[in-house]
Amino acid sequence: MVIETSAPKTTPSIGDYLRNNIREYGLLVALVVIMLFFQFLTNGVLFKPVNLTNLVLQNSFIVIMALGMLLIIVAGHIDLSVGSIVAFTGGLSAIMLVKWGLHFSIVVPLCLVLGGLVGAAQGYWVAYRKIPAFIVTLAGMLVFRGLTYLVLQNRPIGPFPKDFQLLSTGFIPDFLYFLNPLPGVITNFFALVTVLVLVALAIYYGIRDRRTNDLHGTENEPFAFFVLQMGIISAVAVFLGFQLSTYKGFPNVLVVMALLIALYTFVTTRSTIGRRIYAMGGNEKAAKLSGINTERLTFYTFVNMGVLAALAGMIIAARLNSATPKAGVGFELDVIAACFIGGASASGGVGKITGAVIGAFIMGVMNNGMSIMGLGIDYQQLVKGLVLLAAVFFDVYNKNKG
């Protein structure tokens, strides 16, 4: 019954490993399957370079907000106000850019700060006054939507200056055009080179990590599995990179998004702040008694959410080239759904950035695929709802079985 400490270490078989990590790989497999499914149903439109670019542009803001939302959900809270913050900060940026004629290099940081303040205003009530986040942010959702109507005086504002629009519509220029071996096919050689370099780096660091783990006697995943996983991910990355390079290359937003995903993955897995958020979500009282300032931590997760929502607000405004009072309606639901599809637990303490990102893309691909097929918003909502339920059911089922 009792397993002795001296029991010999056994390396898990591939089967065991798969069973233990079924959630993460299952999610990735689901995304790939869904993409292939729509690729088939749309007669190959989905993977077309133009559409892939659109997919990124349409989903970037959901992904960006899912990063912040995941932290909030892991901390054991929820934020219903992000859609309204999107509209509010988008509106403020429009006023500053269009009405006051400020330069975007001033407006962008200013709006991020304002988003942080909005987050702080809500985080204060949640963290220090112990009002449930559901209620605080429900109030915030109404308050900031109302404020948006007020500041925009019920009218959309636009168009934006060209330089601000580049945030959403710009692409990373082809710095390496002079090296392009196939100018007829590849239109942005830099994008392709970047993807190849990143894939090479990922493989290098993956192997290096395994070495250090061996050195320290830490368990590695089975080697065959590592090769398979690296192989599939690299192949997919190279394929997508190639497709994009035959169009306009990397959208600016993609770069912003990728950097943020990397940053938040690092924060959640390697930093003390991330660790403390998980501990707090798992057991707030125990975390507090371990010397963690849980109030401050909660407060800052909301500030962080506000900043990310502001960024998303500007990206959307720039993309639509107008700030409207109705921007971002219902976004909070997409963002929250992305986190739960990605395996976050509604009771806190559980969830991963990679999961939330994949969850966001699953939703995005479904939206995109169904739009191409000409299915209306009615079916889209219906299907998305069922997918959310199925994903969470899968989680619960797995947990009870294990």
Partner 1 sequence: MDNIILEMRGITKTFPGVKALDNVNLKVREGEIHALVGENGAGKSTLMKVLSGVYPAGTYDGEIHYDREVRNFSTISDSEHLGIIIIHQELALVPLLSIAENIFLGNEIAANGVIDWPQTFSRTQGLLSKVGLKEPPTTRITDIGVGKQQLVEIAKALSKKVRLLILDEPTASLNETDSDALLKLLMEFRKQGMTSIIISHKLNEIKKVADKITILRDGGTVETLDCHNEDISEDRIIKGMVGRDMEDRYPPREPKIGETLLEVKNWNVFHQQHRDRQFLHNVNFSVRAGEVVGIAGLMGAGRTETVMSIFGKSWGHKITGEVFMHGKQVDVSTIPRAIDAGLAYVTEDRKQLGLVLNNNIMHNTTLANLNAVASNGVIDDHKERKVATDYRSKLRIRSHSIYQEAVNLSGGNQQKVVLSKWLFTTPEVLILDEPTRGIDVGAKYEIYTIINQLAAEGKGILMISSEMPELLGTCDRIYVMNEGRIVAELSKKEASQESIMRAIMRSGEKH
3-state secondary structure of 63: helix
Side chain identity at 165, as an amino acid letter? Q
Euclidean distance between CA atoms 317 and 311, whole angstroms: 10
d(CA 234, CA 337): 28
d(CA 367, CA 362): 9
Output the CA angle 8-11-13, nearest 5 degrees: 140
CB of 2 to partner 1, least distance (A): 5
> Which residues is 323 bridged to in the sheet?
157
Residue 21 CB neighbours (<10 A)? 12
Minimal distance, residue 219 CB to partner 1, in Å: 8
How many residues bind partner 1 (CB under 8 A)? The answer is: 32
400 binds partner 1 (CB under 8 A): no
Residue 275 as a binder of partner 1 (CB under 8 A): the answer is: yes
Q: Which residues pair with 171 in a beta bridge?
A: 251
Between 10 and 153, CB nearer to partner 1: 10
Binding window for partner 1 (CB under 8 A); candidates: 119-127, 149-157, 279-287, 302-310: 279-287
Nearest in space to 311 (alpha carbons), one of 74, 103, 119: 119
Bridge partners of residue 157, in order along the sequence: 323
In 32-182, DSSP assigns E strands to none
Contact predicate 303/142, CB 8 Å: no
Q: Is 287 in the site for partner 1 (CB under 8 A)?
A: yes
Nearer Cβ to partner 1 (241/351): 351
CB of 112 to partner 1, least distance (A): 21
- Site for partner 1 (CB under 8 A): which residue of 272, 330, 374, 378? 272
Restricted to residues 293-322, the positions that interact with partner 1 (CB under 8 A) are: 293
Interatomic CA distance for residues 266 and 337, integer angstroms? 23
Residue closer to partner 1, measured from CB, 248 or 352: 352
- Enumerate residues 85-144 that contact partner 1 by CB under 8 A: none
Question: Position 171: which residue type?
Answer: F
Give the nearer residue to partner 1 in terms of CB position, either 14 or 286.
286
What is the token pair recorded at 169?
A: 């519509």
Residue from 233, 273, 333, 383 touching partner 1 (CB under 8 A): that is 273
Closest distance of CB 288 from partner 1, Å: 7
Q: Both tokens of residue 346?
A: 């509604």
7 binds partner 1 (CB under 8 A): yes
**Which residues ranging from 187 to 246 are in contact with partner 1 (CB under 8 A)?**
212, 216, 218-219
Return the ∠ at Cα 42 (arms to 36 and 47), rounded to 5°.
55
CB 167, min distance to partner 1, A = 29
Q: Does 4 bind partner 1 (CB under 8 A)?
A: yes
> Is 223 or 266 the residue whose CB approaches partner 1 more closely?
266
Find the part of the chain contacting partner 1 (CB under 8 A) among 90-98, 163-171, 229-237, 288-296: 288-296
Q: Which helix (H) or strand (E) holds 254?
A: helix 252-270
**Shortest distance, CB of residue 306 to partner 1, whole angstroms?**
21
Say how far apart CA 133 and CA 139 lie, in whole Å: 10
1 near partner 1, judged by CB under 8 A: yes
Chosen residue from 350, 356, 362, 370 binding partner 1 by CB under 8 A: 350
Q: Which residues bind partner 1 (CB under 8 A)?
A: 1-5, 7, 9, 212, 216, 218-219, 270-273, 275-276, 278-279, 282-283, 285-293, 349-350
